[in-house]
Amino acid sequence: MSINKRNITLRLYFIGLILITLIISLVFKLIELQFFHGDHYIDISKEREFKREIIPANRGNIYSDEGKLLASSVPKYEIRFDALAPSEKNFKNYIEKLAVELSNFYGKTAEFYINKLIKARSNKNRYLLIARDLGYLEFTKFKNFPLFNLGPNKGGFIYNQTTNRDYPIREIAKRTLGYEKYDDLGNSIRPGIDGAFGPTYLKGINGSRLSQKIGQGQWKPIMDFNQIEPRDGYDVYTTLNIELQDLTHHTLLSQLKKYEADHGCVVIMETETGEIKAISNLGLSQNGNYYEKLNYAVGESHEPGSTFKLMSLIRALEDNVVDTSKIIDTKNGIINFYGKKIKDSRVGGYGKISLAKAFELSSNTAFAEIINDNYSENPNLFVDGLFSMNINNKLGLPILGEGSPVFTHPSDKKNWDGLDLPWMAFGYGIQLTPLQTLTFYNAIANNGKMVKPLFIKQVKYFDNTIENFQTEIINDSVCSPKTIAIVKNLLKNVVEKRHGTANNIFSDEYSMAGKTGTSQTEYWKSDDLYISSFVGYFPADKPKYSCIVVIHKPNKNKGYYGNIVAAPVFKEIAHKIYSNTPLVEYYSEKKYIKNSGEKKINAVNELNSLIMPDLNDFGINELIPILENAGFSVVIDGNGLNVSQSILPGTKLIKGQEIKINLI
């Protein structure tokens, strides 16, 4: 018996020890939770019940050069109702009045809404959906409805705000203005101006507020004295002109439809400043409609074809390997290089013609000959000369996606061969974007000064100016004034002379200058795919705007040459701009051209009689062809804009005499 008592006692001791150990462990755990991990678990509990959520800032607006709205952020509102927030008294006093207002807004009976609100209170619904996708005026109405006007705590009024981007001019220039899209990882991407200037200016600064979890994955905003209000983004004022943009869009659209083309683009640039006044990019959709598909003007590099002959000619003139009077034999319009044929558009060729006429006629064989003959022993001289004019570099645009110029250099032994030089002469084997080509032509119109395309003029916050954007110079002078004067005259002849490739767009009411381009594309697929282009400026003598038109893959049966497909778009734009110019400016421009023509005739007559005329009334771009065509040698000195002649007016001249022109 004593043994049994002892065993029982031992068992009781053992059980007691276990109980004491458990009690000590529990006490220790409680102390640990309270003093060491309490804050952590409290935070977890709070995270499960509360969270700070972002209040998105409104993006800034985008305006045209005249302050017209191009893109804006439009707030949209969702209305919810916390059915338990109002007191019993407030709920009874205002429910019928609220139901009447909801009935008036939606058209359903007031009884329907009374039952809906009572049911929500009965079910303890603290996040009942009332309305969504409301505009600001509608939101204001709801906010002032009976009961809702008591606010979130007394009236149960809850709202959530989101922001949509709205474009008043719809699809026009949408690729340049930009819009929101998402990549494969779900990241937001904004191309165009919206993307380029979004992070710095347009985006704004988000705010934040506290929300409470109310079940079923829903969160309700609650009164938070630490709520941070968002700061809306700054407004951006672009260089785009809404009237020119509309004109450009519809003129391009009409031509794309007419020639059943795949896609195309047009850019208008202000000559002196580089401001982009209009840019249109239209591509064909699967359903046969054209829309702003891609930013072709900025992002699509392609072989420029004959528009590149200007660059080739400038290098040859700058290196003094040719002059425009040089005679070139185009033979039968076909020449061979290493078994590959280069052809002129005219069957049978043009025979023996001057280099000037070869440019005006756009002879491929002539340009391949002169460049190959003069640079085959030293191709570096030609290509490095091109590079010195900045045509091998990106423009450094703020807009994402600028295409890269593509050139092969003679130092690249792997890829350079005997075909590169003659093919490069007329724009094959290289690639430029339309905007890069336009920027070079604009430099010629701007007397050699190459300026960077400018899309933004100003950033403002309400009436406060945040930043102004000025014209940036890429190259002070792409070539000499003498060469500028020569090529300006040739570009004018392309339009004005009867044999010029763009003579079909000539008008005696206003002057234009430019160059046509017709190049094959994707020739490994088909012989019927072409790129038609025209690039130039107007007025020819006093350039105000430069413009490029590029149209891809027109229906060959309807037309594919640059003068037929692209140049008429250029003419239509120039015509509309002239037509909309105030009459005083318009007629003074015509008078200038007329008087200039009369003075030119008088000067030529004097020179033919070997009498020196007064040259002070002429620009340098007019003088050189007048003097050289009369058989005199011209020497240019200085870099100014005013002309001073070394031989006084009325002096007797000798045929072939050297005449020095000082630019002061």
Instruction: Using alpha carbons, select from 124, 50, 112, 46 the residue that is nearest to residue 81.
Output: 124
The CATH number for 616's domain is: 3.30.10
pLDDT band at 654 (very low <50, low <70, confident <90, very high): confident
Q: What is the mean pLDDT of residues 386-394?
A: 96
Q: Are residues 197 and 104 in the same domain?
A: yes
Q: 66-92, pLDDT tens digit by residue?
A: 888 887 777 788 999 999 999 999 999
The CATH number for 144's domain is: 3.90.1310.10
Decide if 347 contacts 465 (C-beta within 8 A): no
Q: Are residues 29 and 105 in the same domain?
A: no
Q: Are residues 337 and 461 in the same domain?
A: yes
For residue 191, what pLDDT is reported?
Answer: 64
Decide if 478 contacts 389 (C-beta within 8 A): yes
Single out the residue in 580, 610, 628 at which a domain terminates. Answer: 580
Q: Are residues 371 and 398 in the same domain?
A: yes
Q: Are residues 635 and 517 in the same domain?
A: no
Residue 43 in any domain: the answer is: no
Q: Any residues with CB less than 8 A from the CB of 356 and at least 6 apart, and which?
A: 324, 325, 490, 493
Q: Any residues with CB less than 8 A from the CB of 222 and at least 6 apart, and which?
A: 50, 152, 210, 211, 212
Q: Which of 221-225, 323-327, 351-355 has the lowest mean pLDDT?
A: 221-225
Single out the residue in 551, 580, 609 at which a domain terminates. Answer: 580
Q: Are residues 486 and 347 in the same domain?
A: yes
122, pLDDT greater than 90: yes
Q: Are residues 21 and 120 in the same domain?
A: no
Q: How far apart are CA 258 and CA 208, in angstroms?
A: 53
Q: What is the mean pLDDT of residues 91-116?
A: 92
Q: Are residues 355 and 456 in the same domain?
A: yes
Residue 47 in any domain: the answer is: no
Buried (b) or exposed (e) across 78-109, using 16+ Cβ within 10 A?
A: bbbbbbebbeeebbeebbeebbbbbbebeeee
The CATH number for 372's domain is: 3.40.710.10
Q: What is the mean pLDDT of residues 306-318?
A: 97
Cross-strand partners of 74: 164
DSSP states along 353-384: EEHHHHHHHT-HHHHHHHHHHHHTT-HHHHHH
Task: Using alpha carbons, list the distances in angstroms from residue 261 to 167, 265, 285, 398, 536.
Answer: 27, 11, 11, 29, 22
For residue 588, what pLDDT is reported?
Answer: 37
Residues 615, 621, 623, 626, CA torsion sign: negative
Q: What is the mean pLDDT of residues 480-501?
A: 94
Backbone angles phi, psi at 203, to 5 degrees: -65, -40
For residue 165, what pLDDT is reported?
Answer: 73
387, pLDDT greater than 60: yes
Q: How far apart are CA 164 and CA 214, in angstroms?
A: 27
Q: How far apart are CA 297 and CA 549, in angstroms?
A: 9
Axis crossing angle, helix 481-496 with helix 434-445, rounded to the nearest 10: 110
Q: What percent of the chain has pLDDT over 70?
A: 84
pLDDT band at 220 (very low <50, low <70, confident <90, very high): low
Q: Are residues 339 and 194 in the same domain?
A: no
Residue 224: how many other CB atoms lie within 10 Å: 13
Which helix (H) or strand (E) segment holds residue 547: the answer is strand 545-552
More confidently predicted of 245 and 633: 245
For residue 582, what pLDDT is reported?
Answer: 44
Residue ranges making up the domain that contains 8: 2-36
Q: 539-554, pLDDT tens digit by residue?
A: 998 999 999 999 999 9
Q: Are residues 347 and 490 in the same domain?
A: yes
Decide if 549 contacts 567 (C-beta within 8 A): yes
pLDDT band at 34 (very low <50, low <70, confident <90, very high): low
Q: How far apart are CA 537 and CA 548, in angstroms?
A: 9
Q: 330-375, pLDDT tens digit by residue?
A: 988 999 988 889 999 898 889 999 999 999 999 999 999 999 999 9
Single out the residue in 238, 256, 271 at which a domain terminates. Answer: 238
For residue 217, what pLDDT is reported?
Answer: 54
Q: What is the mean pLDDT of residues 383-395?
A: 96
Q: Are residues 13 and 97 in the same domain?
A: no
Instruction: Using alpha carbons, select from 432, 328, 306, 415 the residue that is nearest to residue 372.
Output: 328
Q: 275-301, pLDDT tens digit by residue?
A: 999 999 999 988 889 988 889 999 999
Total count of domains within the chain = 4
